[in-house]
Amino acid sequence: MIEFDEQKKRLVLKLVYYGPALSGKTTNLLCLHDLLTKEGRGDLMMLDTKDDRTIYFDLLPFFLKTPSGLKIKVKVYTVPGQVRHDATRKAVLQRADGVAFIADSQATEARNNSTSFDNLETNLSLVGLNIERIPLVVQYNKRDLDDIIDEANIRRVWDPTGIPVYLTSALKGWGVLESFADLARQTYHSIDKRYDLAGRHGLSSSEFVSRLTTRS
Ligand SMILES: Nc1nc2c(ncn2[C@@H]2O[C@H](COP(=O)(O)OP(=O)(O)O)[C@@H](O)[C@H]2O)c(=O)[nH]1
Ligand SMILES: [Mg+2]
């Protein structure tokens, strides 16, 4: 749910990278941080990570201004994936405007992926959001490894849902930007429908996406 303060001309958008423990959510944010131009991009805050495992969350913020003077802040969060941190995951999901689900492509992780996706659906509904309506992309990460789930299997499962799927390696930087751009585009469309940002504030969807995803 978007935070929009028309008087202060301020709008905050929240995107959440969700998924099982160690699927590469933090690495995705690191990759975005490294690939994207500094202009408009804030610093990556990694809170309380221990042994590669996020206990709270990470946050990468972006700052934009529309031609009308509206300030837009895009906050990109990760959640901790471990089962026992469900309360934190729920808190981070509150008022999310879009979600990237980061699955681990390793064949051994299939069950963890599906448990985590079910957990996403449950937690979204607990915070009053609907998985059928929220802007969403799925990333099968770690495509650089051997013993990964076949692309054909992935397509068979996900194509009927209409949710866009990206095959990525956050470690190598493959596909991460494309997935982020898709999520940003979908999210922009959903808020533009409500607030007419293009008409009233002069920021088109393609301009929004290109300002967020300009490479350094
Ligand atoms: N081979 C490979 N390793 C990855 C990839 N993405 C993340 N990792 C590794 O997987 C481990 C967990 O990554 P992290 O981003 O901390 O996972 P998170 O728990 O989802 O935040 C780390 O050792 C990463 O270097 C990837 O695309 N390929
Ligand atoms: Mg993490």
Domain count, the chain: 1
Which pLDDT score, from 0 to 100, does residue 198 have? 94
Question: Measured on CA atoms in the order 186, 194, 209, 4, is the torsion positive or negative?
Answer: negative
Q: What is the mean pLDDT of the chain?
A: 94
Residue whose Cα lies nearest atom 8 of ligand 1: it is 24
Is residue 35 scored above 70 in pLDDT?
yes
Domain residue limits at 93? 3-212
User: Coil, strand or helix: which one is 131?
Assistant: coil
Q: Is the pTM of this model over 0.85?
A: yes
Which pLDDT score, from 0 to 100, does residue 70 have? 95
Instruction: In whole angstroms, give the CA distance from residue 129 to residue 210.
Output: 27
Residue 142 alpha carbon to ligand 1 centre in Å? 7
- Range in 48-57, 143-152, 171-180 the model is least confident about: 48-57
Residue type, 18: Y
- Number of Cβ within 10 Å of residue 95's Cβ equals 15
Which pLDDT score, from 0 to 100, does residue 56 have? 77
Instruction: In whole angstroms, give the CA distance from residue 159 to residue 1.
Output: 27
Which pLDDT score, from 0 to 100, does residue 23 have? 97
Residue whose Cα lies nearest atom 11 of ligand 1: it is 22
Which pLDDT score, from 0 to 100, does residue 1 have? 60
Alpha-carbon distance values, 35 to 32, 160, 166, 173 (Å): 5, 32, 17, 8
Q: Strand pairing partners for 10?
A: 5, 71
- Ligand 1: lining residues by beta carbon, under 6 Å: 19, 21-27, 52-54, 78, 81, 141-142, 144-145, 169-171
In 28-169, the DSSP E strands lie at 45-46, 49-50, 53-54, 58-65, 71-78, 98-104, 136-141, 165-167
Q: Can you spell out the DSSP letters for 142-181?
A: -TTSSSB--HHHHHHHHGGGT--EEE-BTTTTBSHHHHHH
CATH number, position 109: 3.40.50.300
Is residue 192 scored above 60 in pLDDT?
yes
Is residue 55 scored above 70 in pLDDT?
no
Q: What is the pLDDT of residues 2-29, one digit of tens each?
A: 778 878 899 999 999 999 999 999 999 9
Instruction: In whole angstroms, give the CA distance from residue 105 to residue 150.
Output: 9
Q: Ligand 1 pocket: which of 22, 23, 26, 27 to mutate (most atoms <8 Å of CB)?
A: 27
Instruction: In whole angstroms, give the CA distance from residue 99 to residue 92.
Output: 11
- The share of the chain scoring above pLDDT 70, in percent, equals 96
Is residue 51 scored above 80 in pLDDT?
no
Atom of ligand 1 nearest to the CA of 168: 27
